[in-house]
A and B are shown apart, each in its own frame.
Chain A
Amino acid sequence: MSKTLFDKVWDSHVVRKIEGGPDILFIDRHLVHEVTSPVAFLGLKNRGVRVLYPERTFATADHNTPTINQHLPVADPLSANQLKALEENAKEYGISHWGLGHEKNGIVHVVGPEYGITQPGATIVCGDSHTSTHGAFGAIAFGIGTSEVEMVLSTQCIMQPKPKSMRINVKGELNFGVTPKDVALYIISKLTTSGATGYFVEYAGEVFENMTMEGRMTVCNLSIEMGARGGMIAPDQKTFDYVQGREFTPTGAAWDKAMTYWETLSTDEGATFDKELTFDAADIEPMITYGTNPGMGLGISKNIPNSGDVEGGAATYSKSLGYMDFNEGDSMIGKKIDFVFIGSCTNGRIEDFRAFASIVKGRKKADHVTAWLVPGSHKVEAAIKEEGLLAVFNEAGFELREPGCSACLAMNDDKVPAGKYAVSTSNRNFEGRQGPGSRTLLASPLVAAAAAVTGKVTDPRELLEKTIA
C-alpha cells in the first residue's frame, strides 16, 4: 500500500493503538527547556518515578535568559530560580544540560539540529509549539504541554490521535528577494491561523527541494502558525550531508543502518492526503504582517485589506487593526518603525544573519531604531564572527547580543515598549507578544534589515538591487 512520509514515520513508532482512543507513540528525542518543564519534574517527584531514558532527553535554557552579560548572575529572581530548577532537575535525573554560559547553549530548536540530535525519521517532542522546526529533516516533531512533558520523561511515550494529512506544494522558482520566511507567511495568509488545525503537513515541490536546510527549518517552524501540529519535508542528500559528522549523529555501522531507514523516507507515488494544496512561487513577494495574528500578512507592496475581504468577523478584525493603530486601505510601505528584532527559532540561524548583512553592509542603522540582533546559539554567534559579519554589523551601527529566545516572547528584559512598532523575524505578532502593548510586524531578515536602515517599512528589493548594482 502506498504510504505518505508522515505515515511511514508515525506507523513505525506506534507502540500500541487504543480502541476508540489515541495511539501510543514512542518518542526518540525529547528536548526540554526551563519554562515548561519544572512542573513536569515536580510530577515525577510526586509519583516517585524516574526519567525512563535520560540519554534520549536533552535540556537547554533559552526562553527566560538574558541576552547581555550572561556571565553575570541573572538579575530577575524568578528567572534565576527557573534556570536553577532546570539545572538541578537535569542533574538529579541524569539529563544533558546546556545551561546559560555552556558552549552549546542556545535556542532549543537551533541547537537540536546543530548537534545532530535532530535526525530524519525520528519522533521529536518538546514543550514548545515551534518544535515543528525539526520536521525540516523529515522528522515528526511537534509541541506538547507540560502534562505531556511529564508523560514523555516518565515513559518515553505520548498518547496522540493520529492527525489528518495535508500536502502543500509550492511549484516553480522564487522571485528575487523572496525568502523561506515569505513562503511560510504567504501560505499562512492563505490558510489563516486555523486552516491546518488537525493536520500534519508535508511540504513538497521545487521550492522546498531547492531550499537550504536553514530555509526548510524556517518553513517547518511556522507550521504551527496555521494551526498544524507540525510540518515535514522529505529528507534528501542535502539533509544527509547536513546531519553527517555532528556530535550526536550515528557513525560507522550505525550510520549505515540509519541511512537504510532514512532512504525509505519519502511519500510513495499514489499515496493520498486528506487535503492537498498547490501554490505558485511566482505569486509570492516579500511579506509583512499588519495585524495581531500571523495569518494577517500581505505582500509588502499591498494595502491593508478591507474587513469585507477577509475571513472572520468584522469586530475581531477591527479590534486587531485598532490595536495596531492601522486603517483599512493603508499602505504598509513607509510606515515608521521603532524596533527591529532579528533572531528566534524562526530566523536566528547563520543564513538569516547573512541575509541581514547583505542589506546593512555599507549602510547605517536609522538613528531612531533600536535593533536587537540575537543569534540562535553560540555556534551561530561564532559563525557570525568568523564570517566577518560582526564587523559589517558594527560598521553599520549594530551590536550583537548573546543567544536566547529574547524579544520573540519577551520573557527577559528584551521588551518592546507599549505602542511601539517592531519589525521582527520571529513567529508571532499576537497582542503584547513582544511586551505589553507592543506592536509587531512579522517579516523576513531582508525586510527587517531594510526597516533597520531606513527606519520605516521598506521593500528590500530596492536596497538589494542597489547592493548588486
Chain B
Amino acid sequence: MGKHHEDNYRLNHPDFHPLDQGLDRRNFLQKTAMGLGAAALQVLLGGHSLQAKSIQDQILESLPKIAPKAKRVVYLFMSGGPSQFETFDYKPNLKNMFGEGLPDSVRKGQRLTGMSANQAVLPIVPSLYNFKQYGQNRTWVSELLPYTAQVADELCVIKSMYTEQINHDPAITFFQTGHQLPGRPSIGSWLSYGLGSENQNLPAFIVMVSKNASKDQPLYSRLWGNGFLPSEHQGVQFRSSKDPVLYLNNPEGYDGEDRREMLEYLKKLNQAQNQTWADPEVEARISQYEMAFRMQTSVPEVMDVSTEPDEVFDLYGPGSRDKGTFAANCLLARKLLEKDVRFVQLYHQGWDHHDALPKNIITQCKQTDQATAALIQDLKRRGMLEDTLVVWGGEFGRTVYSQGKLSANGYGRDHHPKCFSMWMAGAGVKPGSYGETDDFSYNILKDPVHVHDFHATMLHLLGINHEELIFKSQGRRFRLTDVHGKVVKGLLS
C-alpha cells in the first residue's frame, strides 16, 4: 500500500522534498502515513527532538555505497530476436556442415517450438555473410553491420546471453520486467522509482517505437508499464505524429493560463481526496498532471530537430530526417539523454526471421546499423558515453538449423533461447567479448549471462544493489530481479 518502503535510492524524488525543506513533519507524515518510512521517522522524531539536519544526515548515511558509473540508459530493443549467426557470433566451422542434421548430442533433447518441432531434419545452415575482426579488441562483427563494426572498440558483446522463454511475448516481457507474465514494472519504471528524474520537465522513462520496421510481432504498452509501482513511473511513449505525446496539448482556444488555474483547483480537490484516503495513486495523479503541464513546453522543445546541423543528420544516416524511423529516434534519444532523461527505450521490430532470413536481415541491419553506431559516436564526442549505458539486443536468439526447407536462395531460423548475443556500451562497461558458445551456437560453453544477471548488472552500473531496490505489493516484496540475479563482474570495467 504505502510507497515508502526500504527504498534507499530516492533522494531526488519529489516526495523527499518536504523532508528537505526544513521538515514539514506533519505534512510529511501525513503523506506517508501508511509507509514504513513514516513509522521510522515517528520513532526518530518521537525519541529525540533532533534538528532537521541529523535526520537528513541519517537518511543519507543509509544510502548505497556503490558508486554509480551510469547515470542514464538508452536501450535499443531489437524486437523479434535477431540472429546471432548473422551479427556477432561467428561460427566458421558451420560452413563444412552445410545441410547436415543437427546432432542430438548438441540438442540434448531440448524442446523446440511448434514451428520446427515436426521437421524431419534440422539442417545446419552457416551464415551467408562474412565476418571480420575489428578494433583493438578484435571483436568479430558481420559485414551486415559495417557501421557498428567501426565503433567495435566501444562494445562489450555478450555472446552467452540466455533466457527461459522461447516465444516472443513472454520473452520480451521477461526482458523488460524480469518476469514472464505481465504485470511487473518495466526496467525504466524501476529506475524512475528508484533514482527519480534529474530533469524536472520530462518523464524519467521515455519510449519510442520505430515506424519503419516490419510489424511482424506486436508490441504492447504494458512492456513499458509501471506494474504495481505508482503510475507516475510508467514509460511515456513519444510518437512521430503531430502530437508526440497524445492529449498533451491544450484544446483549441484554451490558453495556458486557464490550464494552470484549472490544474491548481484540480490539485486542491485531489489533495482533499488524498487526506481522506492517503492513496499513493492520488499523489501519482497530481504529479502526472503537473508533469504533463510542464511537458507542454518541454516536449516540443526537445522534439524539435530543426536546429540540428546537417552534419548530425548525415551521421545518423539517411533515415534520420524522416520522423519516426529508427535513425530519427536515435537522434531524439540523444537529445533526451542530453536533457538527463533517465531511461530511453527504443523498439525496432522485424527481427523474427523464420524464413528468407538472408534477405530480410539486410533490411533490418540497414535500418538500424548506422544510427546505432552514430548514437555511440554522438554520445562519445559530447562526453556522455562516460555516464550513459547503451544496450542493444533482442529477446532471444535463433537456431543453427534452418526452419523449413533449406534452399539455394535462402533459409530461416527458429527461436532459440539457450544462447544469443547482445551488447552493452558506455558507462562502466568493459569493451570486448564476453562468454563463449559451442560450434553450433546452441549451448553456452563459458560465462553464461541470464536475463536476471543482465538486470542485476545494469542496476549495479547505475549504483543500485539489485537486492535492495524493493517494492512491497500484495503482501510480498518484489525486485526487478525478484529472487534471482547476480552482478556479472566480467562485464564491468
The answer on A and B forming one complex is no
